[in-house]
C-alpha cells in the first residue's frame, strides 16, 4: 500500500473520535467569549469615554509593541488561507457533510476567527496605527497565500499546527504581559484570553499526532523529522507592505518580535523540545531503521539549534513600518 493510502486509512480510522475531541478541546459557541466582551459597548452611554481611555492608554506603549501587535493581528486575519489549506489535506472532505475532519476545521476556524476580529477593532480604536496600510498588508497576505512545506500530508500538517499553535500562544501571552505591565489591563486581558485559545488548539493538534504515533509510528517519525529538518515556516512569511514585493516585511517584523522578547529563536528551540517530550520521542518503539535515524536526528537537534540561536544578532534600531505611526507622547 502506498504511503498516501496508508495516511488516508489512518485518518479514516481516527475520524471516529473527532466529535469527542471537539468536545474536549473546543468551547461551545454560546459559552465562549466574543470580541465585544473586551471592547467599548457602542450602545452604551460611556462609549466615547471608553474609547478615549483606550487612546490615552495606548500612548504609554512603545513603538515596537504596536508593530508586533499589528503583525499578530494581520497573521490572525489571514485565517481564510489557513482554513482553505487544511481543507485540502488528505482525509479531509468538506463536500461530505459527515466528514469529521472537515467538521473539526470549521469549528477550529470559528474559534480562531474571533482573534483577528477583536485585535482589529482594538487597533482601530487605539489611534496609534494606520489602518489603511494594515488593511493593504492583510489583503496582500491573503492574496499571496502561503507554502508551509507540508503538501497535503496530514502527518506533516499536524506537526506544523502543533508547533505553530504553541508559538502563537507564546506571542500573545508575552504581548499580554507587556500590556498589563504598562497599565493597559484590558488589552492584557484580551491577549491573554486569545493565548488561552491557542494553547487549547495546540493540545488538540498534539493529541492528533500522538494518536498517529500509536498506529503508524515510523511514518509519523519521518514526517516530524522532515518538518524540523526543513524548519517550520511562520504563517506570515509572505508579509509585505504596500508597494513592496512579497515577503519583504517579514524579517523586520520577526526582528521586532525578537527585540522586545515576544517570540525569539530560543522559543523556537523550546517548542521543539516540548514536542519531543510531549510525544515521548525517545520511548517510541517498533520503528524502521530509517525512522530510528530520524529519531536520533530529532533528539540531537535542540542542542544544535540552541547553539545557533545564541549566536544570532538582532538589530537594535526599530524599522519604520507604514502600519504604525511614530509615538507622540503628550
Interval 45-78: pLDDT, tens: 999 999 999 999 999 899 999 999 999 999 999 9
Specify the pLDDT at position 325: 74
What pLDDT, on a 0 to 100 scale, did the predictor assign at position 326?
A: 64
Domain that holds residue 122: 13-311
In-domain check, residue 319 = no
Asked if the structure places residue 77 within a domain, the reply is yes
- According to DSSP, the residues that pair with 292 across neighbouring strands are none
Question: Do the Cβ atoms of 192 and 33 come closer than 8 Å?
Answer: no
**pLDDT recorded at residue 330:** 39
In a domain? residue 43: yes
Residue 315 has a pLDDT of 85
Residue 326 counted as domain residue: no
Identify whether the C-beta of residue 53 lies closer than 8 Å to the C-beta of residue 159: no
- What residues of the chain score a pLDDT lower than 70? 1, 326-330
Q: Would 161 be classed as within a structural domain?
A: yes
H helices of 231-287, where? 250-259, 265-278
Residue 275: which of 318, 228, 241 has the closest Cα?
Answer: 228
Contact predicate 327/254, CB 8 Å: no
Residue 275 in any domain: the answer is yes
Decide if 268 contacts 231 (C-beta within 8 A): no
Residue 288: per-residue pLDDT: 97
CB-based contacts of 293-296 (< 8 A; 24+ apart in sequence): 294/221, 294/222, 294/224, 294/225, 295/221, 295/225
pLDDT of 328 reads 47
Q: How far is CA 98 from the centre of its chain?
A: 27
| Domain of residue 77, CATH code | 1.10.620.20
What is the tally of structural domains in the chain? 1
- pLDDT 10s digits, 268-303: 999 999 999 999 999 999 999 999 999 999 999 999
Catalytic residue numbers, as ranges = 33, 76, 112, 115, 165, 168, 197-198, 201
Residue 2 lies in a domain: no
- Quickly tell me which residue has 510525544 as its cell: 279
Identify whether 324 is part of a domain: no
Task: Specify the pLDDT at position 311.
Answer: 87
Amino acid at each position: 500500500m502506498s504511503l498516501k493510502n496508508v495516511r488516508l486509512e489512518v485518518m479514516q480510522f481516527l475520524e471516529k473520535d473527532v466529535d469527542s475531541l471537539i468536545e474536549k478541546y473546543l468551547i461551545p459557541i454560546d459559552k465562549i467569549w466574543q470580541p465585544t466582551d473586551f471592547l467599548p459597548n457602542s450602545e452604551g452611554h460611556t462609549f466615547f469615554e471608553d474609547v478615549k481611555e483606550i487612546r490615552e492608554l495606548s500612548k504609554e506603549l512603545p513603538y515596537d509593541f504596536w508593530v508586533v501587535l499589528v503583525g499578530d493581528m494581520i497573521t490572525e486575519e489571514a485565517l481564510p488561507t489557513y482554513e482553505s489549506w487544511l481543507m485540502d489535506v488528505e482525509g479531509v472532505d468538506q463536500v461530505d457533510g459527515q466528514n469529521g475532519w472537515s467538521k473539526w476545521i470549521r469549528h477550529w476556524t470559528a474559534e480562531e476567527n474571533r482573534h483577528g476580529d477583536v485585535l482589529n477593532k482594538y487597533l482601530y480604536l487605539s489611534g496609534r496605527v494606520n489602518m489603511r496600510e494594515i488593511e493593504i498588508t492583510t489583503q496582500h497576505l491573503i492574496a499571496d497565500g502561503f507554502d508551509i512545506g507540508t503538501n497535503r500530508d496530514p502527518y506533516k500538517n499536524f506537526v506544523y499546527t502543533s508547533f505553530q499553535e504553541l508559538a502563537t500562544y507564546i506571542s500573545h501571552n508575552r504581548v499580554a504581559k507587556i500590556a498589563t505591565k504598562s497599565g493597559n489591563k484590558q488589552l492584557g486581558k484580551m491577549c491573554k484570553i486569545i493565548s488561552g485559545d491557542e494553547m487549547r488548539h495546540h493540545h488538540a493538534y498534539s493529541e492528533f499526532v500522538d494518536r498517529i504515533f500509536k498506529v503508524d509510528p515510523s511514518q509519523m517519525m519521518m514526517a516530524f523529522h522532515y518538518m524540523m529538518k526543513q524548519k517550520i515556516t511562520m504563517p506570515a512569511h509572505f508579509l509585505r507592505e504596500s508597494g513592496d514585493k512579497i515577503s519583504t516585511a517579514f524579517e523586520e517584523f520577526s526582528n521586532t518580535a525578537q527585540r522586545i522578547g515576544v517570540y525569539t529563536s530560543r522559543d523556537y528551540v523550546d517548542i521543539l523540545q516540548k514536542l519531543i517530550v510531549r510525544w515521548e520521542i525517545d520511548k517510541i518503539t517498533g520503528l524502521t531503521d530509517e525512522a530510528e535515524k530520524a529519531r536520533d536526528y530529532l533528539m540531537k537537534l535542540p542542542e544544535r539549534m540552541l547553539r545557533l540561536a545564541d549566536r544570532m544578532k538582532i538589530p537594535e534600531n526599530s524599522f519604520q513600518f507604514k502600519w504604525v505611526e511614530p509615538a507622540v507622547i503628550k
